[in-house]
Every structure is written in C-alpha cells, then in structure tokens.
A and B are shown apart, each in its own frame.
Chain A
C-alpha cells in the first residue's frame, strides 16, 4: 500500500544548530501536511503544502514540497528548546486519505 517514509527517527542537536526531517512518498500526493507533537501532548497542525515545488516559511521553519509532489522537508534554523517534540508529515492521497509518516523526534542537547 501507499507509504510515507520519514527520516530520521530521532535527531539530537545542540541548541542553536539546525534540524531537518524528510518525508518521501511512494506515490504522488495531493498535498502534504506537517504537524508537531510536544511530549505528552496532541499533534498540532503547522502547515499544508499543495503546489509542486512550493516553499513556505514560518519564522525559523522552512517547509518544502518537491516538484514531483512525492517528497517534502521541514528545516528548522537555529533550534531552540521550544522546538522540542516530534514532527510528523502526513500526505493526502487521491482518495483524500491521510498517510502519516512515522515522525522525527527532535531532542535538544543541553
């Protein structure tokens, strides 16, 4: 079946370093959404990308959607302790089903 692979599973960074998580789909997606889940909390919607090659920014976060609409990335510049959590991508297929990546846990080293 359709899958969205997300890597890495974990990333440890020093505060101030950059962080990137990548998602790759086996099929073309209608759109891709990104969510953040803080420890003990629920996923919170961050952004949705729809167009091929789209790039969107939210302060230190940069989201990209590939030209083929099969891959996406989230890049955080100069991480802060408030960025800690698990970042999930979720792709919408042609049947409007959401296919979730496994998530990347961002851990900030003190």
Chain B
C-alpha cells in the first residue's frame, strides 16, 4: 500500500526554536498534501492543504507566518513551526493524496513538545 514517511517522530526543544517537519510519499506522487494538528483525545484539525508548486491554503485561524508550508516536489512537503512556544506543543500529522477522490495516506505523526 501507499507509504508516507514523516520525520522526526518526536521533538523536544526550547521556546523560541523553529522546528521543521518533513513529510514524504515514498511510493506514489502526492499531488496534494495535508497538515493536521491533533490535541489529546480530539479529532484531527486540518491546518492547511498544499498542492505541489503552489502556495498552501490555510484553514481559518491558522497563522501562515507561524506555520510555514513548502511543497516543492510531488514527494515532499515540509511544515516549519517558527519561533515555537509551549502552546504549539501538539501532535502534527501529515497526509498525502495522489489524485482527487483518492484516500489520504498518513505519516506516523510528529509529537512536538516545547519547553
């Protein structure tokens, strides 16, 4: 089946640090990649949608200058949490999709802890 690799799986860092998370589709071309945030015991919250070569579309309430998304190729998207603060601590999950109407395949997620 389709494989999506997400790194790192866990990050612990000091407040003010910027953190980059990578999401790669290993065996298919991901026309669209999605970035989600999930708080404990809650559903997935879509942060942004990115199409290869285009600017990401951010959901309402998500700061685009805070969460920088780059989707430079059909197999790689990155999310950079800039100047992270404790309230940014969360579980971040990426997913990738080939064509429209196809299912999303998820990475393993990144657990971000800001001290």
Chain A residues packing against B (C-beta within 8 Å) = 30-31, 33, 35, 41-45, 48, 50, 88, 90, 92, 96, 98, 100-103, 105
Contacts and interface: CB of A to CB of B under 8 A. Distances in A.
Determine which residue in A33, A42, A102, A105 has the highest number of CB atoms from chain B within 10 A of its CB, and name it: A42
Given A42-B93, A96-B101, A102 B43 contact: yes
Given A42-B109, A43-B93, A103-B43, A98 B101 contact: no
Nearest to B106: A42
Contacts, number: 40
Interface residues of B, number: 16
Given A42-B106, A42-B107, A43-B106, A31 B101 contact: yes
Contact of B103 (A33, A101, A103): A33
Q: Lowest 7 A-B CB distances belong to which pairs? A: A96-B100, A42-B106, A45-B103, A102-B43, A42-B109, A103-B43, A43-B106
B72 to A, nearest CB: 22
Interface string B25-55: 0000000001000000101101000000000
17 contacts: A31-B101, A35-B106, A41-B108, A42-B93, A42-B107, A42-B108, A43-B44, A43-B93, A44-B106, A45-B103, A88-B43, A92-B101, A96-B100, A100-B43, A100-B46, A102-B43, A105-B41
Interface in B51-82: none
Main secondary structure of the interface of A (DSSP, over half): strand
Given A45-B103, A45-B104, A45-B105, 14 more contacts: A31-B101, A33-B103, A35-B106, A41-B108, A42-B93, A42-B108, A45-B106, A48-B103, A88-B43, A92-B101, A96-B100, A98-B46, A100-B44, A100-B46
Interface string B85-98: 00000000101000
